[in-house]
Structure 1
């Protein structure tokens, strides 16, 4: 059974042994797949966005592969690593075994030779090639490999460069170059992939906004799985593929996994993998003890840094009320992507039976959580609400904190 599992895939609870099982385990996203397919037929460059682990990479790879579209991926983390977008393109060309010329030799006549008689001669000089030469090289490579058919250059992990205007200007320049004959003739489409919702606006603000906007199309967000999608996926994995037996309410278990993983596909995979491996040690039976052991290992292996962020913001164990702890626990209960202090205050008062006459000082407390050295939450672009810095922080709260017999917030993993 262990061979059924390998490295986690973004939209796949179990990475199976064969392509046939892999297809069965994939969660269909028909609307998103259709929108991406339609965008590939158009002339605009494409944006795919969504939180990490929701299946962006799996989505575009599935669509491009099924449509037999040739593609290559440039990881924008390499742009940061190498110091520029150009360097990332050059590194990709090197990976593909293609040398990138950085300059060319030009020859010109010099000297005065009236009637062609007299002194003079020829001189050579080295001319630096334009910044976009490496991009042009990738475009040419893709076009050749695709034999002139539609192909795609993917710029993945866009969130790595969103805070640097130089990188954004470089991307804007490439987008504008789509109309240049030397680029357009190859028919290579650019696919921008990243976490931020407002990728188009981020790029447009450093260039000609209307020009950039007219060259980009954004498909709907690759969001977390729905409850039905997640439960269906877990049921197929545990019941049909692995044939596990349960000594607890499996529907309740599936809903608990959805809650603790926030229905992020990658995290569902990782927690289900832990449960399956623990169940294997217990005659393929999923019990409360098996789930508890699996969750603890999942927390310890995947959320160490996130738990540290949370712990640094909590009250000490000696604090009588532990209001910060209550607020952090309540943050884990919020079911909105963006939330206001009034949303959290309502949860705190209901969960901990806090009288309306007691001032919770929520605006100041949330502000302090956002301004910490390692912040838990951050202001939204409009500055009128908050959201978690990372979905993993919400998961760490949900899976890593619990209420003890005295209704105090305590950590599960010490």
Structure 2
């Protein structure tokens, strides 16, 4: 990970890639767990919020172990209408001409003694997703010269609401022990956001069979506060040599708060700050940080800004209870939260008397049922979580309280 260079024009040069390797935050325990899982017989699940380094992790480990791999983006299952189609697209990319279906002529006639009605009809037969998977692992095996290889099913969150695709994945997992699949030595690596990914697959298949064929490494979680601050200090102070006209420790903690300590977002915001500071003779000030944050929000979160704006009260609303609740959602420090957690924050942040009914259950439900939802129910249906961590970042960086304790916007896009 790298967020800047001594010269802005050098950001995307080979020199930048050298720093990128040095700025990578080692995850020794996760790397070890993934390496161990690769030696086993089970298919592997890697999960964690978007931007936390799942792709970095598996690519780093596979490259170090010199294990060939190919990636199937499950977003293509949605785009093309089925998991089968996404496998066929990948086969085509790899140079395989395997067809997705075949057409046969079927004789419809009834002929007794050479007489009667006749005719022919063309009927199309589609190949099953499992068969397409078999063809794909066979191709990977040949491409890897018979050595161990890995097929990555990435962006699993794209199919969590698609029952047919979930069933197809379950079928593929169950086929792991079949000789026609096992003989190719291709390990399946399923990568996605949901923490309950194994349960999502198991509920559409034989739960015990699927559980016996899957191993889940620990969550690729957001960076710790110490990891994030250490990374930023290395970048701004050691690599770039920038100076500060503001309190460094407060600045680092503020970046951690606004990015929710998600590695990709720390990188992107710090790159903006580095570029602004370069224009200010290498000085990080309140002005450079504010300008960088505004650009970061407007350029990286345009659709997320719209989601928040559509749910907020109009500026003329006297109390602006929705705004207070949205602001308080940004202050929650849990992945999964209940309405009681948010109510406590609202009452503390806005001095709301205990006797006032906030109708939090109804308001949170409306945020979850909106055309572009802010939050969603957890699988157990007893709590909520953000649809995307980006939405929490937009709230933290894009909303603040004014001197009259009202929620106001910090960027025009909101």
- TM-score where L is the length of structure 2: 0.89
Q: Aligned partners of 1:102, 1:361: CA distance in 2, in Å?
A: 53
The yes-or-no answer on 1:324 pairing with 2:322 is yes
C-alpha deviation, 1:104, in angstroms: 8.2
1:104–1:336 CA distance, 2 compared to 1 (3 A): closer
1:18–1:321 CA distance, 2 compared to 1 (3 A): closer
Match of 1:17, SS? helix
Q: Aligned partners of 1:166, 1:326: CA distance in 2, in Å?
A: 40
* Unaligned segments of structure 2, at least 5 residues: 1-6, 105-122
Match of 1:333, SS? coil
Contact 2:101 2:127 in 1 (8 A): yes
Q: Aligned partners of 2:395, 2:198: CA distance in 1, in Å?
A: 32
Q: Pick the aligned partner of 2:282 from 281, 284, 291.
A: 284
Q: Aligned partners of 1:307, 1:220: CA distance in 2, in Å?
A: 32
Q: Aligned partners of 1:67, 1:57: CA distance in 2, in Å?
A: 15
Contact 1:16 1:22 in 2 (8 A): no
C-alpha deviation, 1:93, in angstroms: 1.5
Q: Pick the aligned partner of 1:336 from 324, 334, 345.
A: 334
Q: Pick the aligned partner of 1:29 from 22, 27, 30.
A: 27
Q: Aligned partners of 2:163, 2:9: CA distance in 1, in Å?
A: 46
C-alpha deviation, 1:138, in angstroms: 2.1
C-alpha deviation, 1:130, in angstroms: 5.1
C-alpha deviation, 1:192, in angstroms: 0.5
Structure 1 segments of 4+ aligned residues over 6 angstroms from their partners: 103-106, 125-128
C-alpha deviation, 1:358, in angstroms: 2.4
Aligned to 1:186: 184
C-alpha deviation, 1:256, in angstroms: 0.3
Aligned to 2:254: 256
Q: Aligned partners of 2:71, 2:275: CA distance in 1, in Å?
A: 33
1:127–1:297 CA distance, 2 compared to 1 (3 A): closer
Match of 1:225, SS? coil
Moved more, 310-319 or 70-79: 310-319
Q: Pick the aligned partner of 1:355 from 353, 356, 362.
A: 353
Q: Aligned partners of 2:376, 2:130: CA distance in 1, in Å?
A: 36
Count of residue pairs the alignment pairs up = 388
The Cα RMSD (Å) is 2.1
- TM-score where L is the length of structure 1: 0.89
Match of 2:72, SS? strand
1:411–1:131 CA distance, 2 compared to 1 (3 A): closer
1:74–1:298 CA distance, 2 compared to 1 (3 A): same
Q: What whole-Å deviation, never above 9, does each CA across 1:347-390 have from its counterpart, x for those lacking one?
A: 12221222223222222222222222222222222222221121
Moved more, 377-386 or 38-47: 377-386
Q: Aligned partners of 2:343, 2:157: CA distance in 1, in Å?
A: 31
C-alpha deviation, 1:249, in angstroms: 1.2
Q: What whole-Å deviation, never above 9, does each CA across 1:215-263 have from its counterpart, x for those lacking one?
A: 1111111111111111111111111111111111111111000000111
Contact 1:3 1:17 in 2 (8 A): no
Aligned to 1:305: 303
Q: Aligned partners of 2:128, 2:401: CA distance in 1, in Å?
A: 61
Aligned to 2:408: 410
1:158–1:230 CA distance, 2 compared to 1 (3 A): same
Match of 1:351, SS? helix
> Superposed, which structure 2 residues align to 1:35-184 within 5 Å?
35-102=33-100, 131-184=129-182
Aligned to 2:119: none
